[in-house]
Amino acid sequence: MTTTHIAGPNLAAVLRERTRTRLRPRYEGANICTWIGFKHVNYLVEEAVLEHLRSGGLAPGELYERYGLGVDLVDLDTRVLHAFHIDDVVLADVTPLDPVDGELAFSVVLHVDGDEPIRAATARVRVVLRRDSGDTPEAPPELRPITTPAIRRTERKFATAPGGNEFHWSWRIPYFYCHFTERLQMSGYLRLMEEAVDLFLEQRGISIRTLLDEQDWIPVVPRSRVTILDEVRMEQELDLVFTVQNVFKGLTYDARLDWYVQDQHGRRLVAVGHITHGYALIENRRDWHLVEFDERMLNALSSPPAGATAVRDRGRTATGEPRG
Q: 165 with 308, same domain?
A: yes
Q: What pLDDT score was predicted for residue 157?
A: 55
- State the residue range of the domain holding 50: 1-150
pLDDT average per 10 residues of sequence, the chain (324 residues): 49 94 96 96 98 95 95 98 97 96 96 96 97 87 93 68 79 97 97 97 96 97 97 96 94 96 88 97 94 96 75 47 34
The whole-angstrom separation of Cα 11 and Cα 27 is 33
Q: 108 with 175, same domain?
A: no
Give the domain-ending residue among 150, 185, 210: 150
The whole-angstrom separation of Cα 314 and Cα 237 is 12
Q: 143 with 216, same domain?
A: no
Q: 123 with 210, same domain?
A: no
Q: 247 with 115, same domain?
A: no
Q: 309 with 192, same domain?
A: yes
Q: What pLDDT score was predicted for residue 165?
A: 85
Which among 292, 187, 196 has a CA at the least distance from the CA of 244? Answer: 196
Hey, which bits of 81-165 come out as E strands? 90-100, 103-112, 118-131, 147-148
Q: 180 with 300, same domain?
A: yes
Q: 141 with 253, same domain?
A: no
235 and 244 in contact (C-beta within 8 Å)?
no
Q: 176 with 311, same domain?
A: yes
Q: What pLDDT score was predicted for residue 80?
A: 98
Q: What pLDDT score was predicted for residue 7?
A: 41
Give the domain-ending residue among 88, 115, 150: 150
CATH of the domain at 60: 3.10.129.10
